[in-house]
Amino acid sequence: MIYLKTMLKVIDNSGAELVECIKVLRKNPKNFAKVGDKIVVVVQDAKPLSSQITGAAATNRVKRGDICRAVVVRTKAPIQRPDGSVVKFDDNACVLINQKNEPIGTRVSSVVAKELRKKSFNKIVSLAPRVLKESAISSLNVLDAYSVQSFNSMPYQKLAENLRPLFLKGLPKSRVLKQFAHLNLIANYENSAYKFNNVAKLELIFKKMNAYGHMGARKFWENNLKTVCFHNPQLAIEVQRVDCATKEEQMKCPSLLKVHFNDGQIKTIDCKSKQHQDIMKELVDLTNAEKVPEDQIPVFSYEVYEDRMGRK
Protein backbone atom coordinates (compact mmCIF):
# COMPACT_ATOMS: atom_id res chain seq x y z
CA MET A 1 0.00 0.00 0.00
CA ILE A 2 1.18 3.47 -0.86
CA TYR A 3 0.81 6.24 1.73
CA LEU A 4 1.97 9.83 1.99
CA LYS A 5 5.80 10.04 1.88
CA THR A 6 6.15 6.55 0.36
CA MET A 7 9.08 6.31 -2.04
CA LEU A 8 8.47 4.61 -5.39
CA LYS A 9 10.71 3.48 -8.21
CA VAL A 10 9.86 4.84 -11.68
CA ILE A 11 10.05 2.17 -14.41
CA ASP A 12 9.52 4.29 -17.54
CA ASN A 13 11.91 6.41 -19.63
CA SER A 14 10.56 9.79 -18.52
CA GLY A 15 13.87 10.52 -16.79
CA ALA A 16 12.68 10.10 -13.22
CA GLU A 17 14.23 7.32 -11.17
CA LEU A 18 12.77 7.83 -7.70
CA VAL A 19 9.62 9.72 -6.64
CA GLU A 20 7.84 10.49 -3.37
CA CYS A 21 4.07 10.24 -3.00
CA ILE A 22 2.52 13.51 -1.80
CA LYS A 23 -1.17 12.79 -2.48
CA VAL A 24 -3.44 9.83 -3.21
CA LEU A 25 -6.14 10.51 -5.80
CA ARG A 26 -9.09 8.42 -4.64
CA LYS A 27 -12.79 9.22 -4.36
CA ASN A 28 -13.30 7.25 -1.17
CA PRO A 29 -11.93 8.27 2.24
CA LYS A 30 -9.14 5.69 2.24
CA ASN A 31 -5.77 7.40 2.36
CA PHE A 32 -3.68 4.71 0.69
CA ALA A 33 -3.13 3.63 -2.90
CA LYS A 34 -2.81 0.16 -4.36
CA VAL A 35 -2.06 -1.18 -7.84
CA GLY A 36 -3.97 0.79 -10.46
CA ASP A 37 -4.58 3.87 -8.29
CA LYS A 38 -3.42 7.34 -9.32
CA ILE A 39 -1.18 9.43 -7.07
CA VAL A 40 0.60 12.79 -7.14
CA VAL A 41 4.38 12.55 -6.76
CA VAL A 42 7.42 14.79 -6.56
CA VAL A 43 10.57 13.69 -8.36
CA GLN A 44 13.38 13.07 -5.87
CA ASP A 45 15.96 11.61 -8.23
CA ALA A 46 16.20 11.95 -12.01
CA LYS A 47 18.64 11.17 -14.76
CA PRO A 48 20.61 14.17 -16.06
CA LEU A 49 19.37 15.78 -19.27
CA SER A 50 21.35 14.83 -22.36
CA SER A 51 21.56 16.50 -25.75
CA GLN A 52 21.67 13.07 -27.38
CA ILE A 53 18.01 12.43 -26.47
CA THR A 54 15.67 13.80 -29.15
CA GLY A 55 12.01 13.57 -30.18
CA ALA A 56 9.12 12.73 -27.84
CA ALA A 57 11.49 11.25 -25.25
CA ALA A 58 13.23 14.63 -24.87
CA THR A 59 9.95 16.62 -24.78
CA ASN A 60 8.50 14.59 -21.91
CA ARG A 61 11.64 14.44 -19.75
CA VAL A 62 11.20 15.43 -16.10
CA LYS A 63 13.78 16.71 -13.64
CA ARG A 64 14.30 16.72 -9.89
CA GLY A 65 11.63 18.72 -8.07
CA ASP A 66 8.92 18.33 -10.74
CA ILE A 67 5.42 17.45 -9.52
CA CYS A 68 3.67 14.84 -11.67
CA ARG A 69 0.87 12.35 -11.68
CA ALA A 70 1.61 8.63 -11.59
CA VAL A 71 -0.14 5.29 -11.51
CA VAL A 72 0.97 2.54 -9.12
CA VAL A 73 2.05 -0.60 -11.03
CA ARG A 74 3.67 -2.67 -8.23
CA THR A 75 3.44 -2.78 -4.44
CA LYS A 76 5.26 -4.61 -1.68
CA ALA A 77 1.94 -5.26 0.06
CA PRO A 78 0.39 -8.67 -0.81
CA ILE A 79 -2.46 -8.58 -3.34
CA GLN A 80 -5.08 -11.31 -2.98
CA ARG A 81 -6.69 -12.14 -6.30
CA PRO A 82 -10.12 -13.69 -7.01
CA ASP A 83 -8.57 -17.08 -7.84
CA GLY A 84 -7.09 -17.27 -4.32
CA SER A 85 -3.48 -16.56 -5.25
CA VAL A 86 -1.41 -13.89 -3.49
CA VAL A 87 0.99 -11.65 -5.42
CA LYS A 88 3.75 -9.72 -3.66
CA PHE A 89 6.45 -7.67 -5.39
CA ASP A 90 9.89 -6.78 -4.07
CA ASP A 91 9.42 -3.02 -4.47
CA ASN A 92 6.93 -0.21 -4.94
CA ALA A 93 6.91 1.12 -8.50
CA CYS A 94 4.94 3.54 -10.64
CA VAL A 95 4.68 4.98 -14.15
CA LEU A 96 4.32 8.74 -14.70
CA ILE A 97 1.17 9.80 -16.56
CA ASN A 98 -0.38 13.01 -17.90
CA GLN A 99 -3.82 14.53 -17.35
CA LYS A 100 -5.30 12.11 -19.93
CA ASN A 101 -4.02 9.10 -17.94
CA GLU A 102 -1.51 8.29 -20.70
CA PRO A 103 2.13 7.43 -19.88
CA ILE A 104 4.62 10.29 -20.26
CA GLY A 105 7.38 7.95 -21.36
CA THR A 106 7.50 5.81 -24.46
CA ARG A 107 8.80 2.63 -22.79
CA VAL A 108 8.16 0.62 -19.62
CA SER A 109 11.23 -1.28 -18.48
CA SER A 110 9.89 -3.82 -16.01
CA VAL A 111 7.02 -6.10 -15.02
CA VAL A 112 3.60 -4.69 -14.05
CA ALA A 113 0.53 -6.23 -12.39
CA LYS A 114 -2.44 -7.28 -14.50
CA GLU A 115 -4.80 -5.21 -12.32
CA LEU A 116 -3.83 -2.20 -14.47
CA ARG A 117 -5.93 -3.57 -17.31
CA LYS A 118 -9.05 -3.47 -15.14
CA LYS A 119 -8.33 0.18 -14.38
CA SER A 120 -8.17 0.97 -18.14
CA PHE A 121 -4.40 1.55 -18.28
CA ASN A 122 -4.13 -0.61 -21.39
CA LYS A 123 -1.35 1.45 -22.96
CA ILE A 124 0.94 0.88 -19.95
CA VAL A 125 0.17 -2.84 -20.10
CA SER A 126 1.01 -2.94 -23.81
CA LEU A 127 4.34 -1.15 -23.21
CA ALA A 128 5.42 -3.45 -20.37
CA PRO A 129 7.75 -6.35 -21.26
CA ARG A 130 5.78 -8.64 -18.97
CA VAL A 131 2.43 -8.60 -17.17
CA LEU A 132 2.04 -10.74 -14.05
CA LYS A 133 -1.26 -12.48 -14.71
CA GLU A 134 -3.40 -14.68 -12.48
CA SER A 135 -2.60 -18.35 -12.06
CA ALA A 136 -3.27 -20.83 -14.83
CA ILE A 137 -6.31 -22.18 -12.97
CA SER A 138 -8.39 -19.38 -14.51
CA SER A 139 -7.62 -20.33 -18.12
CA LEU A 140 -10.27 -21.97 -20.29
CA ASN A 141 -8.75 -25.40 -20.87
CA VAL A 142 -6.45 -26.53 -18.09
CA LEU A 143 -6.02 -30.14 -17.02
CA ASP A 144 -2.93 -30.01 -14.81
CA ALA A 145 -3.22 -26.57 -13.23
CA TYR A 146 -4.90 -27.99 -10.16
CA SER A 147 -1.75 -29.78 -9.04
CA VAL A 148 0.36 -26.61 -8.99
CA GLN A 149 -0.93 -23.44 -7.35
CA SER A 150 0.69 -20.04 -7.53
CA PHE A 151 1.97 -20.20 -3.93
CA ASN A 152 4.67 -22.63 -5.05
CA SER A 153 6.36 -19.84 -7.02
CA MET A 154 6.33 -17.39 -4.11
CA PRO A 155 9.34 -16.96 -1.82
CA TYR A 156 8.80 -18.44 1.63
CA GLN A 157 7.13 -15.98 3.94
CA LYS A 158 4.98 -16.21 7.03
CA LEU A 159 1.70 -14.50 6.15
CA ALA A 160 -0.86 -13.35 8.66
CA GLU A 161 -3.92 -15.60 8.87
CA ASN A 162 -6.19 -13.05 7.19
CA LEU A 163 -3.76 -12.75 4.25
CA ARG A 164 -3.46 -16.47 3.50
CA PRO A 165 -4.78 -17.48 0.06
CA LEU A 166 -8.35 -18.76 0.09
CA PHE A 167 -7.37 -22.25 -1.07
CA LEU A 168 -5.04 -22.56 1.97
CA LYS A 169 -7.67 -21.70 4.59
CA GLY A 170 -7.82 -24.46 7.19
CA LEU A 171 -4.61 -26.14 5.99
CA PRO A 172 -1.49 -26.59 8.15
CA LYS A 173 0.88 -23.63 8.36
CA SER A 174 3.97 -25.76 7.77
CA ARG A 175 5.05 -25.40 4.15
CA VAL A 176 5.56 -29.14 3.60
CA LEU A 177 2.47 -30.32 5.51
CA LYS A 178 0.44 -27.63 3.77
CA GLN A 179 1.31 -29.06 0.37
CA PHE A 180 0.51 -32.61 1.50
CA ALA A 181 -2.89 -31.51 2.83
CA HIS A 182 -3.62 -29.58 -0.35
CA LEU A 183 -2.73 -32.57 -2.54
CA ASN A 184 -4.98 -34.81 -0.42
CA LEU A 185 -7.85 -32.39 -0.98
CA ILE A 186 -7.25 -32.54 -4.73
CA ALA A 187 -7.10 -36.34 -4.76
CA ASN A 188 -10.14 -36.94 -2.58
CA TYR A 189 -12.45 -33.97 -2.15
CA GLU A 190 -15.75 -34.90 -0.51
CA ASN A 191 -17.99 -37.02 -2.83
CA SER A 192 -15.98 -36.05 -5.94
CA ALA A 193 -13.70 -39.02 -6.68
CA TYR A 194 -15.48 -40.50 -9.71
CA LYS A 195 -14.51 -41.90 -13.11
CA PHE A 196 -16.39 -40.43 -16.08
CA ASN A 197 -15.61 -43.04 -18.73
CA ASN A 198 -18.50 -42.13 -21.04
CA VAL A 199 -17.84 -38.36 -21.01
CA ALA A 200 -15.60 -36.58 -23.54
CA LYS A 201 -15.71 -33.04 -22.18
CA LEU A 202 -17.12 -30.90 -19.38
CA GLU A 203 -17.88 -27.25 -20.11
CA LEU A 204 -18.59 -24.97 -17.14
CA ILE A 205 -19.95 -21.44 -17.68
CA PHE A 206 -20.57 -18.98 -14.85
CA LYS A 207 -20.16 -15.33 -13.94
CA LYS A 208 -17.00 -13.85 -12.41
CA MET A 209 -18.93 -12.06 -9.68
CA ASN A 210 -20.62 -14.24 -7.08
CA ALA A 211 -24.02 -12.53 -7.21
CA TYR A 212 -27.37 -13.82 -8.48
CA GLY A 213 -26.91 -17.54 -7.91
CA HIS A 214 -23.43 -18.16 -9.35
CA MET A 215 -21.63 -19.02 -6.10
CA GLY A 216 -22.39 -22.74 -6.37
CA ALA A 217 -20.77 -23.02 -9.80
CA ARG A 218 -17.71 -21.16 -8.52
CA LYS A 219 -17.35 -23.51 -5.53
CA PHE A 220 -17.80 -26.51 -7.85
CA TRP A 221 -14.96 -25.14 -10.00
CA GLU A 222 -12.70 -24.45 -7.01
CA ASN A 223 -13.29 -27.74 -5.15
CA ASN A 224 -15.08 -30.59 -6.92
CA LEU A 225 -13.64 -30.05 -10.40
CA LYS A 226 -10.09 -30.42 -9.06
CA THR A 227 -10.77 -34.00 -7.97
CA VAL A 228 -12.67 -34.79 -11.19
CA CYS A 229 -9.67 -33.56 -13.17
CA PHE A 230 -7.24 -35.55 -11.00
CA HIS A 231 -8.99 -38.90 -11.59
CA ASN A 232 -9.90 -38.27 -15.25
CA PRO A 233 -6.73 -37.08 -17.03
CA GLN A 234 -8.27 -37.92 -20.42
CA LEU A 235 -11.28 -35.66 -19.79
CA ALA A 236 -11.21 -32.23 -21.45
CA ILE A 237 -12.42 -29.49 -19.12
CA GLU A 238 -13.30 -25.98 -20.22
CA VAL A 239 -14.14 -23.22 -17.74
CA GLN A 240 -15.54 -19.93 -19.00
CA ARG A 241 -15.92 -17.08 -16.51
CA VAL A 242 -18.11 -14.34 -17.95
CA ASP A 243 -17.38 -10.71 -17.10
CA CYS A 244 -20.66 -8.74 -16.95
CA ALA A 245 -20.48 -4.95 -16.94
CA THR A 246 -24.07 -4.11 -15.95
CA LYS A 247 -26.63 -5.52 -13.55
CA GLU A 248 -28.90 -6.48 -16.44
CA GLU A 249 -26.13 -8.57 -17.98
CA GLN A 250 -25.44 -10.20 -14.62
CA MET A 251 -29.09 -11.19 -14.28
CA LYS A 252 -29.13 -12.72 -17.77
CA CYS A 253 -25.78 -14.50 -17.49
CA PRO A 254 -26.23 -18.31 -17.45
CA SER A 255 -24.68 -20.69 -14.95
CA LEU A 256 -24.42 -23.99 -16.77
CA LEU A 257 -22.48 -27.25 -16.81
CA LYS A 258 -22.52 -28.82 -20.28
CA VAL A 259 -21.72 -32.53 -20.44
CA HIS A 260 -20.40 -33.77 -23.81
CA PHE A 261 -20.75 -37.56 -24.04
CA ASN A 262 -18.58 -39.82 -26.17
CA ASP A 263 -21.52 -40.64 -28.47
CA GLY A 264 -21.99 -36.95 -29.35
CA GLN A 265 -24.87 -36.16 -27.01
CA ILE A 266 -24.78 -32.92 -25.04
CA LYS A 267 -26.74 -32.55 -21.82
CA THR A 268 -26.91 -29.43 -19.65
CA ILE A 269 -27.12 -28.99 -15.89
CA ASP A 270 -28.49 -25.68 -14.65
CA CYS A 271 -26.16 -24.59 -11.82
CA LYS A 272 -27.90 -21.35 -10.91
CA SER A 273 -28.77 -21.01 -7.20
CA LYS A 274 -27.51 -24.54 -6.43
CA GLN A 275 -24.94 -25.73 -3.90
CA HIS A 276 -21.73 -27.19 -5.32
CA GLN A 277 -22.47 -30.56 -3.66
CA ASP A 278 -25.84 -30.70 -5.46
CA ILE A 279 -24.18 -29.89 -8.80
CA MET A 280 -21.71 -32.73 -8.26
CA LYS A 281 -24.47 -35.19 -7.31
CA GLU A 282 -26.51 -34.23 -10.37
CA LEU A 283 -23.45 -34.72 -12.59
CA VAL A 284 -22.79 -38.19 -11.14
CA ASP A 285 -26.44 -39.23 -11.59
CA LEU A 286 -26.60 -37.90 -15.14
CA THR A 287 -23.43 -39.68 -16.32
CA ASN A 288 -23.70 -42.85 -14.20
CA ALA A 289 -20.14 -42.18 -13.05
CA GLU A 290 -18.16 -44.91 -11.34
CA LYS A 291 -16.84 -44.17 -7.85
CA VAL A 292 -13.09 -44.55 -7.43
CA PRO A 293 -12.24 -47.26 -4.83
CA GLU A 294 -10.62 -45.99 -1.66
CA ASP A 295 -7.51 -48.14 -2.17
CA GLN A 296 -6.89 -46.42 -5.54
CA ILE A 297 -6.92 -42.90 -4.09
CA PRO A 298 -3.39 -41.79 -3.19
CA VAL A 299 -2.74 -40.38 0.27
CA PHE A 300 0.14 -37.93 0.62
CA SER A 301 1.95 -37.76 3.96
CA TYR A 302 5.35 -36.89 5.34
CA GLU A 303 6.08 -40.58 6.02
CA VAL A 304 5.44 -41.50 2.36
CA TYR A 305 7.65 -38.59 1.31
CA GLU A 306 10.52 -39.81 3.49
CA ASP A 307 10.13 -43.36 2.13
CA ARG A 308 10.40 -42.12 -1.44
CA MET A 309 13.42 -39.98 -0.61
CA GLY A 310 15.11 -42.92 1.12
CA ARG A 311 15.46 -41.13 4.44
CA LYS A 312 14.29 -44.03 6.53
Tens digit of pLDDT for each residue in 194-211?
999 999 999 999 998 878
CATH 2.40.150.20 placement within the chain: 7-132
Q: Identify the residue with better confidence: 279 or 133.
A: 279
Q: What is the pLDDT of residue 118?
A: 87
pLDDT digits (tens, 9 = 90+) for 51-106: 666 655 567 789 999 999 999 999 998 888 777 778 888 899 999 999 998 999 88
Q: Which of 81-85, 107-111, 221-225, 283-287 has the lowest mean pLDDT?
A: 81-85
**DSSP codes of every residue in 104-133:** SSS-B-S-EETHHHHTT-HHHHHHSS-EE-
Rounded Cα–Cα distance for residues 12 and 108 (Å): 4
Q: What is the pLDDT of residue 175?
A: 74
Q: Which of the four pLDDT bands, split at 50, 70 and 90, describes residue 250?
A: confident
* Rg of the chain taking only CA atoms, in angstroms: 24
The domain defined by 7-132 carries CATH number 2.40.150.20:
yes
Q: Which of the four pLDDT bands, split at 50, 70 and 90, describes residue 165?
A: low
Q: What is the pLDDT of residue 161?
A: 54
Residue 153 has pLDDT above 60, yes or no: no
Which amino acid is residue 138, in one-letter code?
S
Q: What is the pLDDT of residue 58?
A: 64
Mean pLDDT of the chain: 82
Overall average pLDDT of the 7-21 stretch: 93
The dotted CATH code for 194-294 is: 3.40.30.10
Residue 39 has pLDDT above 90, yes or no: yes
pLDDT digits (tens, 9 = 90+) for 217-241: 999 998 999 999 999 999 999 998 8
Report the candidate in 62, 48, 41, 55 with the shortest Cα–Cα distance to residue 104.
Answer: 62
Residue 137 has pLDDT above 50, yes or no: no
HEC string for 163-193: HCCHHHCCCCCCHHHHHHHHHHHHHCCCCCC
CATH 3.40.30.10 placement within the chain: 194-294
Rounded Cα–Cα distance for residues 51 and 293 (Å): 75
Q: What is the pLDDT of residue 49?
A: 74
Residue 139 has pLDDT above 50, yes or no: no
Q: What is the pLDDT of residue 143?
A: 30
Overall average pLDDT of the 18-42 stretch: 86
Q: Identify the residue with better confidence: 21 or 31.
A: 21
Q: What is the pTM of this model?
A: 0.47
